[in-house]
Amino acid sequence: MLSAGWLIAAVCVAVLLTLWITLTLTRLDRLHARVDAAQSALDAQLVRRAAALLQLAERSDPRLPVERIIDLTSTARAALALRQWQDPERQAVENQVGRAIAGLQADRARLPADAVTELVESATRVMIARRFFNDAVHDTRTLRARRMPRLLHLAGHRELPSFFDIDDTSTFADSPPPDQHPGPPA
């Protein structure tokens, strides 16, 4: 009798463990897919922002000094040239784009209005897309860091996703930065 009881208990444990592993594997699959999708969304917004900067620079002649236009153009082109997400330069280059945009704040009134609107819109979208991407990375890393998934190696050989850290707080807008007073860009 005792051994039958143990057998039933063992079967129950095995069933529960299998269920739990299946559930965790499904979660990990979903999370990695979410990271990939969020990454391509962020990638697209970064490209849009760099393109908006390039467009603005090209149309600002002669409202800005020539050397500044050359500067802005090369910054935007450098970002557009990096097509690989994994490129080690990516975050530094995107930070330069962000700083170039913030540096335009003082000249805002002199610049073509529709190009400014597009630049503000794309910078805001980068901020949102980056937050959503980092959320996905955070959720994935949290689950992978738990003891059981780690010990059982449930994530397989998939690379651990890393956060995308750029400074996008200094948005180019006449309203205050979105996190304190989320006013829409005018």
Partner 1 sequence: MRIGIVCPYLWDIPGGVQAHVRDLAETLIGLGHQVSVLAPGEEDSPSLPGYVVAAGRTVPIPYNGSVARLQFGLVSATRVRRWLRQGDFDVVHVHEPAPPSLSLLTVLLADVPLVATFHAASTRSRFLTMFDSAVQAVLERLSGRIAVSPSARKMIVEHLGGDAVVIPNGVSVAAYAGAEPLPGYPRDPALGGTIGFIGRYDESRKGMAVLLGAMTELVASRPGVRLLVAGRGQQQDFLDKLPESLAGSVVMLGMVSERDKASLLRSVDVYVAPNTGGESFGIILLEALAARTPIVASDLPAFRRVLDPTDRPSTEDGSGAARPRAGWQQVRAGLIFHNKDSSALAEALERVLADRPLREQLAAAGAEVVRPYDWQLVAAQIVRVYEIAIAATVRI
Is 150 a binding residue for partner 1 by CB under 8 A? The answer is no
Burial class (CB in 10 A: 0-12, 13-18, 19+), 123: buried
Look up residue 104 and give its two tokens.
């335009």
The pair of structure tokens assigned to 62 is 């002669």
Binding-residue total with partner 1 (CB under 8 A)? 39
The candidate with the shortest Cα–Cα distance to 149, out of 28, 36, 31, is: 28
Q: x-or-dash pattern for partner 1, window 34-63, by CB under 8 A? A: x-xxx-xxx-xx------------------
Distance CA 45, CA 170 (A): 17
Stretch near partner 1 under the rule CB under 8 A, chosen from 2-10, 23-31, 49-57, 101-109: 23-31
Map residues 81-120 to x or -, x wherever contact with partner 1 holds by CB under 8 A.
----------------------------------------
Nearest-angstrom CA–CA distance, 63 and 111 = 7
List, as one string, the DSSP characters of 157-169.
TPPPP--------
- Tell me which of 127, 164, 168, 172 binds partner 1, using CB under 8 A: 127
**Residues forming the site for partner 1 (CB under 8 A):** 27, 30-31, 33-34, 36-38, 40-42, 44-45, 124-125, 127-129, 131-136, 138-140, 142-143, 146, 175-176, 178-184
